[in-house]
Amino acid sequence: MKQENNKEHKFGMVIDLDKCTGCGSCMVSCMSENNVPFKEDESNKKDSITWMRVYKLTNGKSFPDTETAYLPRPCMHCAGKGGHGHSPCVSVCPATATEYGHDTGIVSQIYTRCFGCRYCMGACPYHARYFNWWDPKWPEGMENYLSPNVSPRMRGVVEKCSFCYHRYQAARDKAYHEGRNDIEENEFQTACTTACPAGAIVFGDLNNPAHKVHQIVKPDPHPDKWNRHVVGKSRNPKVFRLLERLGTNPKIYYLSEREWIRRKGDNYLDGEWDKIKNHHGSSSHG
Compute the distance between CA of residue 168 and CA of residue 246 in angstroms, rounded to an integer.
29
E strand map for the chain: 11-16, 53-58, 68-73, 130-131, 158-159, 201-205, 239-240, 252-255
Cβ at position 272, least distance to another protein in Å: 25
**Residue 19 vs 180, nearer CB to another protein:** 19
Do the Cβ atoms of 100 and 135 come closer than 8 Å?
Answer: no
Cβ at position 74, least distance to another protein in Å: 14
Cβ at position 114, least distance to another protein in Å: 8
Cβ at position 173, least distance to another protein in Å: 12
Binding site residues, another protein, CB under 8 A? 18-19, 21-25, 27-29, 31-33, 35, 38-45, 48, 50, 54, 56, 58, 61-64, 66-70, 111-112, 115-116, 135-136, 138-148, 151-157, 194-200
**Residue 215 vs 227, nearer CB to another protein:** 215
CA distances from 170 to 165, 180, 184, 275 (A): 9, 13, 12, 45
**Residue 9 vs 238, nearer CB to another protein:** 238
Which of these, 260, 241, 184, lies nearest to 13 by C-alpha position?
241
Cβ at position 133, least distance to another protein in Å: 13
Residues 6+ apart with CB under 8 A from 58: 66, 67, 68, 69
